[in-house]
Amino acid sequence: MITQWFGTRRKNKVELHLHLDGAVRVETFLDVARRRGIELPTRTPEGLARYVRVAHDCRSLTQFLATFDFFIPIIQDGEAIERIAYELCEDQARVGVRYFEARFSPQLLARDGLAVEEVVERVLVGLERGQRAFEVGARAILCCMRHRPDWSMEVVRLAVRYREHGVVGIDLAGDESRFGAELHAEAYRAAREMGLHRTVHAGEAGPAHNIREALDLLGAERIGHGYRLVDDEELYARVREEDIPLECCLTSSLQTGSVPDLATHPVRRFVLDGLNVSLSTDDPSVSGIDLEHEYRLALSDLGFGLADLTRMVFNAARSSFLPPAEQRRLIAELKREYLPPDVL
Ligand SMILES: [Zn+2]
């Protein structure tokens, strides 16, 4: 049964919370650095892996984020960005992903002088090519950054401009302990008025209060992580009642120190209580994992069964930011993956 669920020929998974810049192959960093004449401390994939990937037992947000400081400068390049998006489709297809949403901050990838429009267009072209080559569905989410509220309106403008070309919504990422939601309220209001979908990183390392603010101040439709929900029973009941999707991750939440161990991971209670939970990798190349690894971890270390995993896949599908008709098609395709033909 388990082998069947994970069978390589199946496209039976959906992923909602995945950072494009945290999903880059080590070989790609090497190639891009070589082409751009960037000096690296090492020239081998094994050597470079130590700089762009955290140790599996990493338990520190600072250490986790330090890898980004190392490699973000390498990929400030249109060709590299398109390649990363394309290769991500291949990597996702390889672990049986049928549909995923990849997020990134256009401004963070444009620091070396690229136009933000070019960053977005390169990602969309890479995803488009990748979708066709590897038969996987992919859309983009544009991230606002907590520490740069001055970027947020531009993110909304870009999301509107490219909504017909693969951008399905916006996110708010970055340090939630130091920069409040109110700084981004105006941009999120504009996004809502324009009919853009909205997710927000909240309650990962920061308190449950941040989840409330994401919902009330920013009109978030989904919450990235949301683990601290367990500290506020009233809010917990509301999130369950309103069926608010929680984009949960396992390995990354340990490595950033947001959750001490899997045995007490809040996702266990979320699933038991029937909350709208799905599983994602967050930053697969930084964590050295893929989505299959996370699902296997849920089976081995969280005590979930295949039925729980399947429910999380359908939660992700029905909580995706796809337009309704495309979402219905995705769900129908997934049902065909899961049900024997005579049941349909
Ligand atoms: Zn994230």
169-194 pLDDT tens trace: 999 999 998 899 999 999 999 999 99
Question: Which amino acid belongs to residue 235?
Answer: L
Whole-number pLDDT of residue 6: 85
Known catalytic membership, residue 204: yes
Q: Please give the distance, rounded to the nearest whole angstrom, from the Cα atom of residue 19 to the centre of ligand 1.
A: 6
Residue 127's CB is within 10 A of a number of other CB atoms, namely 25
Q: Please give the distance, rounded to the nearest whole angstrom, from the Cα atom of residue 14 to the centre of ligand 1.
A: 16
| C-alpha torsion angle, residues 323, 325, 329, 334 (rounded to 10) | 50
Whole-number pLDDT of residue 52: 96
Q: Which DSSP symbol is given to 135?
A: T
Whole-number pLDDT of residue 343: 54
- Annotated catalytic residue, options 87, 176, 204, 221: 204
- The gap from C-alpha 212 to its chain's centroid, in whole angstroms, comes to 21
CA proximity to 319, closest of 15, 3, 5: 15
The values of phi and psi at residue 103, to 5°, are -120, 155
Q: Which DSSP symbol is given to 174?
A: S
d(CA 15, CA 175): 23
Tallying the residues shown for the chain, one arrives at: 344
- Do residues 330 and 99 make contact, with C-beta atoms less than 8 angstroms apart? yes
Q: Please give the distance, rounded to the nearest whole angstrom, from the Cα atom of residue 273 to the centre of ligand 1.
A: 23
Q: Please give the distance, rounded to the nearest whole angstrom, from the Cα atom of residue 341 to the centre of ligand 1.
A: 37
Whole-number pLDDT of residue 2: 75
Whole-number pLDDT of residue 340: 67
Q: CB-based burial of residue 112 (10 Å sphere; 0-12 exposed, 13-18 middle, 19+ buried)?
A: exposed
CA proximity to 52, closest of 33, 29, 75, 32: 29
Whole-number pLDDT of residue 234: 98
Whole-number pLDDT of residue 341: 60
What pTM did the predictor assign?
0.97
d(CA 309, CA 305): 7
Q: Which two tokens stand for residue 118?
A: 């070019």
Q: Please give the distance, rounded to the nearest whole angstrom, from the Cα atom of residue 29 to the centre of ligand 1.
A: 21
- Do residues 330 and 98 make contact, with C-beta atoms less than 8 angstroms apart? yes
Scanning the chain, the segments in alpha helix (DSSP H) are: 2-6, 26-36, 45-52, 61-71, 78-94, 116-134, 149-161, 185-193, 208-216, 233-241, 251-255, 266-272, 284-287, 291-301, 306-318, 324-338
The residues, ordered by sequence, that sit 6+ positions from 117 with a Cβ below 8 Å of its Cβ are 158, 161
In order of start, what are the domains of the chain with their CATH numbers?
Answer: 2-7+26-321 (3.20.20.140)
Residuewise pLDDT in 10s, the chain (344 residues): 777 788 767 899 999 999 999 999 999 999 999 999 999 999 999 999 999 999 989 998 889 999 999 999 999 999 999 999 999 999 999 999 999 999 999 999 999 999 999 999 999 999 999 999 999 999 999 999 999 999 999 999 999 999 999 999 999 999 998 899 999 999 999 999 999 999 999 999 899 999 999 999 999 999 999 999 999 999 999 999 999 999 999 999 999 999 999 999 999 999 999 999 999 999 999 999 999 999 999 999 999 999 999 999 999 999 999 999 999 999 999 999 987 665 55
